[in-house]
Amino acid sequence: MPAKTDIGPPYFKDFLPKVILDNYGKWDYHEIVKPGVLMHVGESGDKLWSVRVGGARLICTDRVREYCDIADEFCDGHFRFTSRHNVEFLVADEAKLEPLIKVLTDKGYPIGGTGNGITSIVHTQGWVHCHTPATDASGPVKAVMDELIDYFTGVKTLPAQLRIALACCLNMCGAVHCSDIAILGIHRKPPKPDVNKLPKVCEVPSTISSCPTYAIKPKKLEDGTKSIEINDERCMYCGNCYTMCPAMPLADPEADGIAIWVGGKVSNARSGPKFSKLAIPFLPNNPPRWPEVVDAIKNIVELYAADARKYERVGDWIERIGWETFFDKTGIPFTDMHIDDFDGGAPPPHIAFRTTAQFRF
Amino acid sequence: MPAKTDIGPPYFKDFLPKVILDNYGKWDYHEIVKPGVLMHVGESGDKLWSVRVGGARLICTDRVREYCDIADEFCDGHFRFTSRHNVEFLVADEAKLEPLIKVLTDKGYPIGGTGNGITSIVHTQGWVHCHTPATDASGPVKAVMDELIDYFTGVKTLPAQLRIALACCLNMCGAVHCSDIAILGIHRKPPKPDVNKLPKVCEVPSTISSCPTYAIKPKKLEDGTKSIEINDERCMYCGNCYTMCPAMPLADPEADGIAIWVGGKVSNARSGPKFSKLAIPFLPNNPPRWPEVVDAIKNIVELYAADARKYERVGDWIERIGWETFFDKTGIPFTDMHIDDFDGGAPPPHIAFRTTAQFRF
Amino acid sequence: MAEESKTPLLDELEKGPWPSFVTDIKMAAKRKPETMDLLNQLELSYEEKIGHWKHGGIVGVMGYGGGVIGRYSDRPDLFPGVKDFHTLRVNMPTGWFYTTKALRTICDIWDKRGSGMTNFHGSTGDIILLGTDTDQLQPLFDDLSEAGFDLGGSGSDLRTPSACCGPARCEWACFDNLQMCYDMTMEYQMELHRPMWPYKFKFKFSGCPNDCVAAVARADMSFIGTWRDDIQVNDDEIAAYAEGGLDIQADVADNCPTKCISYDASSKKIKIDNSNCVRCMHCINVMPKALKPGKERGCTLMAGAKAPILMGARLSSVIVPFVPKEKLEPPYEWFKDFIDRLWEWWDENGKFRERFGELLDRVGMRVFLKAMDMEPIPQMIEAPRTNPFVFWWPEDVETSGKEAK
Amino acid sequence: MAEESKTPLLDELEKGPWPSFVTDIKMAAKRKPETMDLLNQLELSYEEKIGHWKHGGIVGVMGYGGGVIGRYSDRPDLFPGVKDFHTLRVNMPTGWFYTTKALRTICDIWDKRGSGMTNFHGSTGDIILLGTDTDQLQPLFDDLSEAGFDLGGSGSDLRTPSACCGPARCEWACFDNLQMCYDMTMEYQMELHRPMWPYKFKFKFSGCPNDCVAAVARADMSFIGTWRDDIQVNDDEIAAYAEGGLDIQADVADNCPTKCISYDASSKKIKIDNSNCVRCMHCINVMPKALKPGKERGCTLMAGAKAPILMGARLSSVIVPFVPKEKLEPPYEWFKDFIDRLWEWWDENGKFRERFGELLDRVGMRVFLKAMDMEPIPQMIEAPRTNPFVFWWPEDVETSGKEAK
Ligand code: SRM
Ligand code: SRM
Ligand code: SRM
Ligand code: SRM
Ligand code: SF4
Ligand code: SF4
Ligand code: SF4
Ligand code: SF4
Ligand code: SF4
Ligand code: SF4
Ligand code: SF4
Ligand code: SF4
């Protein structure tokens, strides 16, 4: 029997716990009871506690079953994940709250990620599954979170929320372009095309036109076959040609590494959404624990913690003190790489468009 | 005898009055004694009064001689012009100040242009001398200043200084791109090339390449001569092709007219320098007094006068209240013309460059 | 003597307080030995600082053009367990709420058909079932479908729409973003499963301007809940916050981006000049008991966000400042008409691999608005143009610029 | 019956309080009847709403490639008086200070050789002698030269440099911008008079960040006087301002862009956190008796401003944040070396009609800095790049990114 197609996802309301169905759209307010524990109060007076737990995202079915076991015990068989891949255990019965927290703590799950601190790092596949990465994803994330866990669990707090994201190549599946701190895998050498294989596995014209900087030129091979060559000087290692054509690999163990970006945000709170800006053009890939990356981020976070004003996101803080002061205080060297010189990357006309939901009617 | 070349301008110090030579680089402070009258006090205690007078800029030698007569009588034969083409009579002897003012007033010269008001309009040639104008320069300027003269003479004041400039075509010799209010002559129809004459008077390839939007295409005439044709849809009437080739006239009595821009500034005071932004895409040329233009500017000035806070330049004011409120309050219709859609005109990479002298060391 | 670990580098990542993916891979490998090759190949990557996956081939399930990401090891000789190791994107339940029953079902199916490794969730929001053989794809899909699950998007299609928890768990949701996200997912199953556009297209629904699904940064069509009347103020609760020690002047009023809140410390009252409120949420965020979004609710439609390839990242920008929530409910006629026309325009005019926002940049808002028969409004822009290079509609020049739309 | 005016439209512009150019043209025409054709032709333009000048031809004076703008009427039949009507640009005295003697000399020469109409001044700053015959050009130049005046720039040359009144009439001048403007004008007479570059190049010198010659908007090389130590504060005068009724908190401190001024109303004292002062001038502008720029003075060198043709206007941006004033004095070795190398780079790399700033955009600051052997510094930018499309120097990749300059 052929499978049914186009049935779509299960209806979400079938998955909601009773307290939510009862108070759907009628929540009155919330409180952060303690780090990682939210209490939402309905107009009805009903209460819902959510206990947020950090995880690896790259998890096995056993892990999921463990979550299920816990949810069965304390949450009437319901729980959820957040938009940043944390787990939230939903408790309607206050009596179960502390026991739940105890079980989670005993099992070593970090509870936190709420309020003005650091929550889980949105990230991508890296060497675990993708074909274009310039670094790993899960590894650096684990290393960074080990270091910053106190900001997750609320042992330490920050002036505002601080969102970290990682993407392992310029495709930016982690959408790091609007993060307080972004970790980005970058290539730094032009692709090394397999010019003989290329015409067999790829369309030459579309390979050529895939390059935004026109770095790929047609070139005839000795036998007359049409292939391509690369003008290295025009290449900025975006990898788009490789996405289009497998015969253009550009990964390189020594040239690849990580760039650190700062000051982006998404919410409309106070200032509008903004892009992350380049802070550190390159740090080497140093598995398994990427110490340079961990140190660099720790340095920025600690400075921010000490220097920013209440409610100031990283980008707002830097704008207030000025980028020169940021580079000065962090000790990050300023380089010509920081100065935008990508033509196409120049904010196109939409710079004039309103990219916040902030406006007057 | 052949003329001496490369002698350069006369040495400026030979033209400075004694009080200036004595206090050169040693001025202590200044006061605006009254509108149009500055008093500069030297560390020495010396005082210099400058009486600023508005003029037409397009003036005859008799007018210059009249200035000279006045300066001979009151200023020991010295006076200056300002960077905005006002005349400044320089008086070292306080006894001569009021008599000078009386003579100027009697002769009908407007005294003013200092402090938080409107000074003379920087402008260009227009139909008086240039070959590319989309409007006249001196005419609209005279009409606007007749209306706004009270803001020049200090009868009325403004929250901050308000600089108006006019340029008669997109070349923007009046550098209107950073004015509180800018009056800009615009064409709105593509050039009407004289395709037969063109190959005789211009280089075809450089005419084609003069167009930033690639609107000019090569075309062979019937006799085989290489000429050009225009893709009207791609033309945004910049006139650059006409600058390069006289056979590409684009002036048109009905299509030409004036656009009004607002919110630019130059000084670093409080906010950094900023570009003027489009307020009114088109007003017709209506000589001799351009009533639509005069009304439009008056409307903006009066609203600004009433609504802005002290020290708020036009652009700062609009940024505070929001562009939507600006369009709302002025009643200026918002159109698709206001939305930037010029690719090349998109802020190029230098948007990232620091264009203010405001920074921390 | 204990056997020496074959993954000494990755073992380092089992240390430290944060949950370790290495541990989870090892757990999975206990029951699915092939999965150990995932760790082994990764160890090689850690040694060599380079990935070992080949460019994905085209694999899939019957009737669908997307939902599966093909993946092959470039060292099948060393790591036969991950010779082919394709990913399935499973459309998550809207808002990521689950019953343990449903999850256990998925786990069972996945243990039977794949590596046992997952992402909860992928960054678009799908359940990612990470790694299975080519010949398992169809049976896997059949099992999932049987259990009531379906695939998410990949390729040049509508990607799996996602939404913040909205009215289910948040007092600020200004429209029923969960319901709409679900309904639109159902409405556009065809578009989701059969790539046919110039490139991908994403929907994300946030209930309010806090934008907890990062819609403005990551969706071609971003729904941001909002309101257009006055913020609801509860004076007593304001006073309670003040008494509780909140510095309303410094923490709330001074942080308002338009400074439209005035606070009177003696009466402990605030006054909001709502005409200047830009609905940034800050004051509401700080005093959730005292302030609430207004009653006239709906959403701001913003469009065009994307990652940087090829010309730099875009944020979504305002297209429709306010869609009342009544229009964001079944049968969604207004929205369906709108998005169908938008897609049609994009499909007709977009180049290969040109996202909607990039097309907007290339041809200009002007052309889009005309095609959509929409009015330009100042809420669409940060500021008007600074360059004088206006393209006039010839008909406007013929009549008169003043009447130009 | 009085003769009917032939310029009824323009006569309208003799009405109203502002000085009228029409009156001046009529005045000139009294002594130079041909000049009446300027008004007559303008009247035709006012009737027809279109200009009547032809594209300029190439006219000039011996030995010079610029300084004259050729102009011909397109209706010489109707307006023989302005058949050819070329403009001469005469280099003004720096700062636009004059003796009446010198001006009378110019007037006399011009009455003899031209239309009697002028612009005091052109918007670059030159004295514009507006309208003369081709055959008068050389004798006119000879007369001017004899009287000690020389031509300004036009075409692809160094344009006439200009400066605010600076130390001559302003207490805030942070370097001797008048002297430097004059000296550079003299130093580069060759470059000023003989077009030889890709396009024009402008110098403007403002004594302080108020920028009274609009250098940042209008000069390829903008000199903006500044200081790098602390603002000089006179406490007594601060108190005097306060007593005089100035609201120092609202008018001064609250308007400081970095909020680095704190005012204590009880002691009537201000404190400036100079490390956060960005030298905007506002506080000094408002309280000129109490505050002055610091003592360690000099200028910020900014470069690249221009009007919008072809790709949109540019403002100058920071190239050298601080040049101490000692380096802005004769013999100007540092600056001459700097500008010679800059021009050489532009000349070698600039395309036909590509301004310096446009070249900077096209090739990138990175390439410019390398060519000039200069260090990148954060004061050059508003903010670091947002796109990840970095061009690496291959040598930096070979060594290590960390040590990359
Ligand atoms: C659970 C979650 C939505 C979901 O459907 O999954 C959520 C839930 C809440 N968010 Fe959020 N936000 C969630 C992702 C986000 C995101 C998206 C992201 O990070 O990728 C943003 C935008 C981030 C950005 O700006 O870069 C986001 C920006 C906010 C803000 C604005 C904060 C700011 O000052 O900029 C608030 C308001 C606040 O915290 O006061 C907020 C407030 C809230 C509240 C208080 C809403 C409510 O009344 O229930 C919830 C608890 C917040 C907390 O954790 O302290 N939420 N919130 C997401 C939890 C992610 C996690 O696991 O950590
Ligand atoms: C005479 C002149 C310089 C010259 O060499 O010719 C000059 C002279 C002075 N300027 Fe200026 N400025 C002169 C053009 C400018 C320009 C250039 C322009 O308008 O094209 C600017 C930049 C305009 C802009 O930002 O768009 C300019 C921006 C300022 C500012 C900044 C004002 C602000 O709030 O943005 C000040 C400070 C102030 O006025 O408090 C200033 C202050 C001054 C002071 C007070 C300086 C002083 O201590 O002597 C002088 C008298 C100001 C007054 O008129 O009230 N001057 N000033 C120029 C007179 C032009 C005129 O005839 O009206
Ligand atoms: C799995 C996932 C990362 C993750 O670990 O979570 C992912 C993985 C890939 N993405 Fe992505 N993208 C994923 C979410 C995103 C997002 C975030 C989002 O949707 O919110 C973005 C940024 C937002 C956007 O759409 O712009 C994103 C922007 C890209 C791009 C750049 C698109 C652009 O227009 O700039 C590419 C390149 C492409 O399409 O060729 C890309 C391409 C890819 C490919 C298919 C690689 C390729 O070039 O063929 C990756 C397959 C990895 C693998 O082997 O499994 N992925 N990708 C995410 C999808 C999981 C899910 O369905 O839930
Ligand atoms: C006379 C003057 C206007 C005035 O009435 O004051 C003027 C007049 C002309 N300018 Fe200009 N420009 C004049 C100052 C400017 C300025 C302002 C400045 O220098 O501060 C600018 C803007 C700043 C800049 O340089 O970008 C300016 C930007 C242009 C441009 C556009 C250049 C660009 O890169 O965008 C052109 C077009 C061109 O060069 O082909 C231009 C071209 C012209 C031409 C030569 C027309 C042409 O295309 O050949 C005009 C001759 C008019 C005539 O018939 O007399 N003029 N021109 C100004 C020179 C007088 C003087 O020497 O003092
Ligand atoms: S960011 Fe790049 S390498 Fe990482 S998962 Fe996405 S496409 Fe693959
Ligand atoms: S990596 Fe990018 S820039 Fe380099 S050749 Fe490929 S497509 Fe072009
Ligand atoms: S702005 Fe245009 S029309 Fe006016 S003088 Fe300059 S080049 Fe001529
Ligand atoms: S006016 Fe400008 S856009 Fe139009 S054809 Fe000429 S150069 Fe091109
Ligand atoms: S976006 Fe708004 S409605 Fe949705 S969870 Fe966040 S705060 Fe609540
Ligand atoms: S929502 Fe934001 S803009 Fe509106 S009043 Fe509150 S803080 Fe101010
Ligand atoms: S720029 Fe500064 S120094 Fe020059 S006149 Fe203006 S205020 Fe004085
Ligand atoms: S000069 Fe400007 S930035 Fe510096 S203290 Fe004064 S007001 Fe503040």
C70-102 per-position pLDDT tens digit? 999 999 999 999 999 999 999 999 999 999 999
* The pLDDT of residue B345: 47
What SS3 class is residue C158? strand
| Cβ A173 under 6 angstroms from ligand 5 | yes
Give the distance (Å) from ligand 6 centre to CA of residue A136: 21
CA gap D166, D173 in Å, rounded: 5
**Ligand whose nearest atom lies closest to the CA of C279:** 10
* The pLDDT of residue B2: 63
What SS3 class is residue C342? helix
Give the distance (Å) from ligand 12 centre to CA of residue A351: 29
Q: Which of B189, B33, B179 is nearest to B111 (CA)?
A: B33
How far away is chain B from the Cα of A1, in angstroms, using its nearest Cα? 54
Q: How far, in whole angstroms, is CA C62 from its chain's centroid?
A: 27
Please identify every stretch of chain A with a pLDDT value under 50, giving residue numbers as ranges: 345, 347
Please compute, for residue D378, the number of CA atoms within 13 A of its CA located in the half-sphere on the CB side: 25
What SS3 class is residue D302? strand
Chain C residues whose CB is inside 8 A of the D361 CB are none
* The pLDDT of residue C188: 98
* The pLDDT of residue A1: 55
Q: How much is the average pLDDT of C176-197?
A: 97
Burial class for C236, CB neighbours closer than 10 Å (0-12, 13-18, 19+): exposed
Maximum Cα–Cα distance across chain D:
93
Choose the mutation target among A164, A207, A267 for the interface with C, i.e. most C CBs under 10 Å.
A267
Which among C42, C56, C216 has the least Cβ separation from residue A355?
Answer: C216
Q: Which of C378, A78, D168, D215 is nearest to B18 (CA)?
A: D168
D61-82 per-position pLDDT tens digit? 999 999 999 999 999 999 999 9
D376 touches chain C (CB under 8 A): no
Are D257 and B270 a contacting pair, CB within 8 Å? yes
C388 touches chain D (CB under 8 A): yes
Which among B325, B343, B352 has the least Cβ separation from residue A349?
Answer: B343
C243-290 per-position pLDDT tens digit? 999 999 999 999 999 999 999 999 999 999 999 999 999 999 999 999
D313 touches chain C (CB under 8 A): yes
Q: Which residues sit opposite C73 in a β-bridge?
A: C53
Q: How much is the average pLDDT of D93-107?
A: 98
* The pLDDT of residue C401: 44
B7-55 per-position pLDDT tens digit? 999 999 999 999 999 999 999 999 999 999 999 999 999 999 999 999 9
Give the chain D residue nearest A260 (alpha carbons).
Answer: D388
The reported pTM is 0.96
User: Inter-chain contact A277–D385, Cβ cutoff 8 Å?
Assistant: yes
* The pLDDT of residue D307: 95
Residue nearest to atom 12 of ligand 3 (CA): A173
Give the distance (Å) from ligand 6 centre to CA of residue C230: 51
Q: How much is the average pLDDT of C222-232?
A: 97
* The pLDDT of residue B357: 72
User: Inter-chain contact C387–B342, Cβ cutoff 8 Å?
Assistant: yes
pLDDT grade for C399, boundaries at 50, 70 and 90:
low
How far away is chain A from the Cα of C240, in angstroms, using its nearest Cα? 14
Residues of chain D above pLDDT 70, percent: 98
Choose the mutation target among A38, A129, A153 for the interface with C, i.e. most C CBs under 10 Å.
A129
User: Inter-chain contact B361–A324, Cβ cutoff 8 Å?
Assistant: yes
Q: Which two tokens stand for residue B341?
A: 């859609």
C53-75 per-position pLDDT tens digit? 998 778 999 999 999 999 999 99
Chain C residues whose CB is inside 8 A of the A40 CB are 169-171
D210-221 per-position pLDDT tens digit? 999 999 999 999
CA quadruple C350, C354, C356, C359: dihedral, nearest 10: -60
Cα–Cα distances (Å) from D71 to B128, B226, D84, D152, in that order, read 11, 29, 6, 17
**CB–CB contacts below 8 A, A to C:** 419
pLDDT grade for C398, boundaries at 50, 70 and 90:
confident
How is C62-111 classified by DSSP, letter by letter? TT-SSSEE--EES-TTT-GGGSB-EEEEEPPPGGGEEEHHHHHHHHHHHH
Q: In the structure, how many helices (H) and strands (E) does chain B have?
A: 10, 12
User: Inter-chain contact D381–A339, Cβ cutoff 8 Å?
Assistant: yes
Q: Which two tokens stand for residue C133?
A: 């053989």
CA quadruple C388, C390, C394, C396: dihedral, nearest 10: -80
D148-185 per-position pLDDT tens digit? 999 999 999 999 999 999 999 999 999 999 999 999 99
Residue nearest to atom 52 of ligand 3 (CA): A130
Are C293 and A357 a contacting pair, CB within 8 Å? no
User: Which residues of D75-189 form beta strands (DSSP E)?
Assistant: 86-90, 97-99, 117-120, 127-132, 162-163
Q: How far, in whole angstroms, is CA D362 from its chain's centroid?
A: 24
Are C132 and C85 a contacting pair, CB within 8 Å? yes
Residue nearest to atom 7 of ligand 11 (CA): D210
Q: Which of D39, D38, D32 is nearest to D5 (CA)?
A: D39
Residue nearest to atom 4 of ligand 12 (CA): D277
Question: Chains near B, with 3+ CB pairs < 8 A?
Answer: A, C, D
Give the chain D residue nearest B267 (alpha carbons).
Answer: D210
- Contacts of residues C255-258 at CB distance under 8 Å and 24 or more positions apart, as own/partner, are C255/A270, C255/A311, C255/C282, C255/C286, C256/A270, C256/C280, C256/C282, C256/C283, C257/A270, C257/A271, C257/A358, C257/C282, C258/B320, C258/B322
User: Inter-chain contact A341–D366, Cβ cutoff 8 Å?
Assistant: yes
Please identify every stretch of chain B with a pLDDT value under 70, giving residue numbers as ranges: 1-2, 343-352, 355
How far away is chain D from the Cα of B65, in angstroms, using its nearest Cα? 6
For residue D383, the tally of other CB atoms under 10 A from its CB is 23
Residue nearest to atom 60 of ligand 4 (CA): D122
Q: Which of B291, B145, B288 is nearest to D42 (CA)?
A: B288
**Beta strands C297-303; D53-54: pairing state:** unpaired
Burial class for A233, CB neighbours closer than 10 Å (0-12, 13-18, 19+): exposed
Give the distance (Å) from ligand 8 centre to CA of residue D105: 44
User: Inter-chain contact B68–D171, Cβ cutoff 8 Å?
Assistant: no
With a Cβ cut-off of 6 Å, ligand 8 is lined by B 190-191, 210-211, 213, 215-216, 230, 235-241, 250
pLDDT grade for C404, boundaries at 50, 70 and 90:
very low
How far away is chain A from the Cα of D363, in angstroms, using its nearest Cα? 7
Q: Which two tokens stand for residue B26?
A: 């040693």
User: Inter-chain contact A177–D363, Cβ cutoff 8 Å?
Assistant: no
| Cβ C173 under 6 angstroms from ligand 9 | yes
- C121 CA closest ligand 3 atom index: 63
Question: Chains near C, with 3+ CB pairs < 8 A?
Answer: A, B, D
Cα–Cα distances (Å) from D96 to A9, B9, B80, B86, C396, in that order, read 77, 11, 5, 11, 45
CA gap B333, C405 in Å, rounded: 8
* The pLDDT of residue C1: 46
Which among D308, D312, D387 has the least Cβ separation from residue C313?
Answer: D387
pLDDT grade for C30, boundaries at 50, 70 and 90:
very high
Are A93 and A133 a contacting pair, CB within 8 Å? no
Choose the mutation target among D14, D54, D55, D254 for the interface with B, i.e. most B CBs under 10 Å.
D55
